Amino acid sequence: MRGGATFRVWCNILLHQGQKWGQTGPKQRKTEQMAEQGTPIKQGKSDVARAARLSVAPMMDWSDRHCRYFHRLMSARVLLYTEMVTAPALVRGGALHLLDYNTEEHPLAVQLGGADPRELAQATRLCVERGYDEVNLNVGCPSDRVQSGTFGAVLMTQPGLVADCVSAMKDAAQGIDITVKCRIGVDDQNAAEVLPDFLSRVGAAGVDRFTIHARKAWLKGLSPKENRDIPPLEYPLVHQMKSFFPSLHLSINGGIASLDTAKEQLEIMDGVMIGRAAYHQPADILLDADRRIFGALDAKCAHQVAEEMIPYIERHLADGGRMHSITRHMLGLFAGRPGARAWRRVLSEGASKSDAGVALVREALSHVPETEQEAL
């Protein structure tokens, strides 16, 4: 980082933040001690921060309420996120059904998209009224649809506006955590300059928890899918932010596909967010997360989770729902195990039929042999 940029960053920190970044407060120390002891999660601000040691990313078209319920059966402690919900859809469109969730999903964060402070404040009130544990602002999505609304990753170019947005959200939040998920920069920005400036300015507005996707977003020339893979991962830069801002709770996201890698990252960072791996191989990430990340003693097996989904599917069908809406999220449950292909085939081919019922899950499950541990 060039000297002038460094000076501006630290001036922003001193001018806008009413604390010393190098200090660790008693609340943070208590949270870290709880994490080490594996204390069970309960709702409350400190517990949400603790749950953020491992979180499942907000994923459009994937992390709906059925997916989140399924994931929660595998881990009682990880922090779950909704898909991004736009503030205009809630405030202007009245699409409040987008905020529906199952109470079992806690600890649960809702991610909002928007760039109008007043509208985001109104949307935040709606989220707080419905009992969410955290409201997160999306400053990372690179899609054309999001850019056209001037929010998502394009907001990395407007840290002052982001600061105004989160300040308004905090005023409406009634003590609920307001957090930000961002990229390290966009397009031709110098990420080593932009990212610390962004964190200092938005942190000065009252945000003390960020999740940083360790890639740039290229707003022109790359699709959202390509933006998840092509820009190089810059983990060292994100790690450096933790040394610059030790009192911020910083989670790292991007390219993390195993609990082993997550644990390595937690030696430096406060939290890890996992996306596609948690969706496509949920058992590998979530079944052992409570034990390995949070110090719990209990753990379920994949067969048990499949059985526990059956009453939920029955209720959904009784309410007029479609089987496929749930089972599409369950296809990766046995990924890498004998019988996984048959499990996927039975569910994929049968779940869309009009007469599909829970017997289909039991049929699919019959193709997957139990391990010795599961048979105990």
CA distance 12 to 204: 8
Name the residues annotated as catalytic: 141
CA distance 372 to 376: 7
Instruction: Report the phi/psi class of residue 233: left, alpha or beta, with left for phi > 0 and alpha for psi in -120 to 50.
Output: beta
Token duo for residue 327: 């089972």
CA-closest candidate to residue 324, choices 346, 298, 300: 346
Instruction: Report the phi/psi class of residue 66: left, alpha or beta, with left for phi > 0 and alpha for psi in -120 to 50.
Output: alpha
CA-closest candidate to residue 202, choices 235, 177, 165, 171: 165
Q: Which helix (H) or strand (E) holds 51?
A: helix 45-51
DSSP state of 134: E
Q: Report strand pairing: 79-86 vs 108-113.
A: parallel
What is the chain's alpha carbon radius of gyration, rounded to the nearest angstrom?
Answer: 21
Indicate the SS3 state at residue 31.
helix
Kindly report whether the peptide bond that precedes residue 107 is cis, defined as omega within 30 degrees of 0: yes
Beta bridge partners, 177, equal 134
